[in-house]
């Protein structure tokens, strides 16, 4: 059996599972952003014809997994396992999407790192020979997150400049043990980092140390440097968090030149989202709509995709707790190799 | 490579990972119940010296994992991975416990099926060669759950007779690829079952079909019958749910004689919890405090442990949704075999 664990926190997928299909569904604001043309579906309103934002978010996740399956000519029953999560209490979007799919299901919670966490677990299942086909989804919705984590949306509270805008969007991915697609070669499972930030309106700053920890551990585990990657993608640190990550990496002697943050690129500056985008959907839709295409076109050969999650709840914040953060990473490479 | 997937939803762990250590921590009411003497630690009050019930619940989870590690002479850093979840929004007990442990962490959400889900994923990691040692925890707390899912505890609302009493308790388990302990031979990952029950005060009835589905699929996948098990343990169906499960199994030609529900056994009838106990902690502490001991003493040789989860949220209930339910199962056997 090939060595599975490399270094402290990294898994090696020698059988090289592949992402064979993917799809993204976003809200109107995201549709007006830089990747507008690249999303599979842009909703014309954030309710998606439903009565509540929560139901709309679930519909987005369902649409995205239906689209990803359809592109690959698969039915839900072809999936051996479905992995999903979202930001809502008790991950209801994932639960109701799993009800629709009627496949074996494992619910995950990693806040905005959920998609990366799902890709890690999918890699484990495929490399370990437990599954042939796995589906992974993540979603977020600006309005469901805003009223759950912060204030009733009707209040129209002014957002501080440190705040990020939760992305309305969902993306789904089909991963297979055998097939043609984007290669998943490694996964690095993160540890909690909590440097004492307790401001729920500045999650990028809270999450930056977790991103730095996972990136540096990953490089050390594999004996690689940042030069081995075309991009080091972070989920949703936004402008503030990315600046902090740059400083932290520099202190460790790692160049931050390759850093690309989905929270920064998902909206254009004119959309004025303050510190950038966030939410499980943020890195998920940027990966599905843009980055995977760049790998497919071999514009990039190898990227490190680092999902970052702030694992707070409204109650933990009210009770004066600081914000525990985590980052999980996967290595994605263009085209299936011949290993 | 030995065959990993058997039938539709079952994984076979041919390398036979083992549960090498376990510990349970419960609240005062649970301490007065039938397993009072068997818990590792019984809190004298449900606040555990903390200012809030949420902090008390987190402390219980931390205590239980510390105890499980200590019994085995391990430190947190000896764990390759930690898997945990709870009922609280954004699984904060798990997140803060993972912060304390400082080990690589995957957050899970499966409501009251979380412990079983964690054991399934631990088995996958160990069998797949991704880890040598994995920690798994789950917790619940009557007061945190009551005020989160139902009504403010100060209201003192009368509970209907269909309601179950959320267990104040946490249990943790150490699983290892090599070693001596209780064998984990198979895992069956559940699908969502939702027959339209929407009463959040009658979760046992909502969950019974999921338990039936997973049990019957498991037996079919392995070509086994209920006679192959000394017990078929369900997590927390309570009195009502267990009656429904009995009917559903009988309809499928499966005898319900071996059914043992942790929600029924955790409290004595005099404690009058109405329909029984529930919560992630329920099946977790009964397994750790009682059932594993029975396997260790070879009073039982092989049990099927089926965690049952009602994947609702307060918002999904308010918005008129029915309750999607899931059940995950693991096979536990006495002593390491020579396979």
Q: Where in chain A is the domain with CATH 3.40.47.40?
A: 5-176, 184-333
Residue A96 contacts B where some CB pair is shorter than 8 Å: yes
- Euclidean distance between the first and final Cα of chain A, in Å? 14
| Phi, psi (deg, nearest 5) at residue A233 | -90, 125
Residue B195 contacts A where some CB pair is shorter than 8 Å: no
Residue A200 contacts B where some CB pair is shorter than 8 Å: no
The neighbour count for residue A193, using CB atoms within 10 Å, is 22
Select from B53, B76, B86, B90 the residue whose CB has the most chain A CBs within 10 Å, as the one to mutate to test that interface.
Answer: B90
Report the predicted TM-score, pTM, of the whole model to 2 decimal places: 0.98
> What is the model's pLDDT at position B338?
36
B309/B112 Cα distance (integer angstroms):
4
Residue of chain A whose alpha carbon sits nearest to that of B214: A104
Cβ contact A1–B129 (<8 Å): yes
Cβ contact A121–B107 (<8 Å): no
Cα of B145 to nearest chain A Cα, Å: 12
Cα of A34 to nearest chain B Cα, Å: 31
Residue of chain B whose alpha carbon sits nearest to that of A194: B99
A201/A187 Cα distance (integer angstroms):
29
- Please state which CATH number belongs to domain B184-333: 3.40.47.40
Residue B327 contacts A where some CB pair is shorter than 8 Å: no
Rounded mean pLDDT for each run of 10 residues along chain A, 339 residues in total: 91 97 98 98 96 98 98 98 98 98 98 98 98 98 94 88 96 96 98 95 96 98 98 98 98 97 97 96 98 96 98 95 98 72
> What is the model's pLDDT at position A339?
35
Written as six digits, the tokens of B320 are 């008129």
Pick the closest to residue B20 from B120, B133, B187, B114 (CA basis). B133
Sign of torsion over alpha carbons A159, A196, A168, A186? positive
Q: Which CATH architecture has domain B5-176?
A: 3-Layer(aba) Sandwich (3.40)
3-state helix, strand, coil in chain B (%, to 5): 40, 25, 35
Enumerate residue ranges in chain B where pLDDT < 70: 1, 336-339
Cβ contact B130–A5 (<8 Å): yes
Cα of B277 to nearest chain A Cα, Å: 20
A225/A218 Cα distance (integer angstroms):
9
B329 bridge partner residues: B188, B306
Sign of torsion over alpha carbons A145, A150, A156, A161? negative
- A9 contacts on B by Cβ (under 8 Å): 104
Residue A88 contacts B where some CB pair is shorter than 8 Å: yes
Cβ contact B95–A128 (<8 Å): no
B160 DSSP assignment: P
Cβ contact A326–B105 (<8 Å): yes
Cα of B21 to nearest chain A Cα, Å: 23
- Radius of gyration of chain B from its Cα atoms, rounded to whole angstroms: 18
Contact present, B213 and B162 (Cβ < 8 Å): no
- B61 contacts on A by Cβ (under 8 Å): none
Residue of chain B whose alpha carbon sits nearest to that of A99: B192
Cα of A32 to nearest chain B Cα, Å: 30
For chain B positions 246-265, those within 8 Å of chain A (CB to CB) are none
Residue A153 contacts B where some CB pair is shorter than 8 Å: no
Query: Is A288 exposed, middle or buried (CB count within 10 Å of its CB: 0-12, 13-18, 19+)?
Result: buried
- B76 contacts on A by Cβ (under 8 Å): none
Query: Is A298 exposed, middle or buried (CB count within 10 Å of its CB: 0-12, 13-18, 19+)?
Result: exposed
Select from B109, B122, B188, B308 the residue whose CB has the most chain A CBs within 10 Å, as the one to mutate to test that interface.
Answer: B109
> What is the model's pLDDT at position B50?
97
A182/A8 Cα distance (integer angstroms):
25
- Helices of type H across B51-90: 53-71
Pick the closest to residue B193 from B24, B17, B9, B65 (CA basis). B9
Cβ contact A324–B99 (<8 Å): yes
Nearest Cβ partner for A192 among B105, B127, B311: B105
Contact present, B40 and B79 (Cβ < 8 Å): no
Residue B299 contacts A where some CB pair is shorter than 8 Å: no
Ramachandran category for residue B279: left, alpha or beta (phi over 0 → left; psi -120 to 50 → alpha): left
Residue of chain B whose alpha carbon sits nearest to that of A90: B313
The model's pLDDT over B53-95, given as tens digits with 9 standing for 90+, comes to 999 999 999 999 999 999 999 999 999 999 999 999 999 999 9
Written as six digits, the tokens of A109 are 């919670």
B255 bridge partner residues: none
Number of Cβ pairs closer than 8 Å across A and B? 174
> What is the model's pLDDT at position B157?
86
Pick the closest to residue B306 from B281, B331, B323, B334 (CA basis). B331
Residue of chain B whose alpha carbon sits nearest to that of A89: B89
Nearest Cβ partner for A189 among B90, B106, B319: B106
Cα of B110 to nearest chain A Cα, Å: 6
Cβ contact B192–A105 (<8 Å): yes
> What is the model's pLDDT at position A335?
80
Contact present, B265 and B242 (Cβ < 8 Å): no
Residue A14 contacts B where some CB pair is shorter than 8 Å: no
Residue B117 contacts A where some CB pair is shorter than 8 Å: yes
Element (H, E) at A42: strand A41-42
Contact present, B80 and B174 (Cβ < 8 Å): no
ipTM strictly over 0.90?
yes
Cα of A157 to nearest chain B Cα, Å: 22
Cα of A275 to nearest chain B Cα, Å: 23
């Amino acid at each position: 059996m090939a060595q599975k664990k490399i270094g402290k926190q990294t898994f090696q997928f020698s059988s090289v599972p592949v992402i064979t299909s993917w799809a993204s569904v976003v809200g109107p604001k995201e549709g007006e952003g830089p990747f507008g043309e690249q999303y599979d579906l842009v909703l014309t309103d954030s309710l998606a014809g439903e009565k509540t934002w929560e139901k709309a978010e679930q519909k987005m996740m369902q649409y995205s997994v239906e689209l990803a399956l359809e592109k690959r000519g698969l039915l839900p029953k072809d999936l051996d396992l479905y992995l999903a999560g979202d930001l809502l209490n008790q991950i209801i979007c994932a639960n109701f999407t799993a009800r629709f799919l009627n496949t074996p299901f494992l619910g995950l919670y990693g806040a905005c790192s959920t998609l990366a966490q799902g890709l890690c677990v999918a890699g484990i299942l495929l490399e370990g020979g437990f599954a042939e086909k796995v589906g992974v989804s993540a979603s977020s919705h600006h309005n469901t997150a805003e009223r759950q984590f912060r204030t009733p949306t009707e209040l129209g509270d002014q957002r501080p400049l440190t705040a990020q805008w939760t992305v309305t969007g969902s993306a789904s991915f089909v991963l297979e043990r055998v097939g043609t697609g984007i290669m998943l070669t490694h996964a690095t499972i993160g540890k909690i980092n909590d440097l004492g930030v307790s401001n729920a309106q500045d999650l990028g700053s809270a999450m930056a140390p977790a991103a730095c920890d996972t990136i540096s551990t990953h490089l050390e585990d594999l004996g690689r440097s940042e030069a081995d990657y075309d991009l080091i993608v972070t989920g949703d640190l936004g402008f503030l968090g990315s600046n902090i990550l740059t400083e932290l990496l520099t202190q460790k002697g790692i160049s931050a030149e390759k850093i690309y943050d989905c929270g920064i690129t998902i909206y254009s500056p004119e959309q004025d989202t303050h510190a950038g985008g966030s939410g499980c959907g943020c890195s998920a839709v940027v990966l599905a709509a843009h980055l995977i295409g760049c790998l497919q076109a071999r514009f990039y050969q190898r990227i490190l995709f680092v999902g970052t999650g702030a694992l707070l709840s409204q109650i933990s914040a009210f009770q004066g707790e600081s914000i525990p953060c985590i980052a999980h990473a996967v290595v994605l490479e263009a085209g299936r190799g011949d290993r």
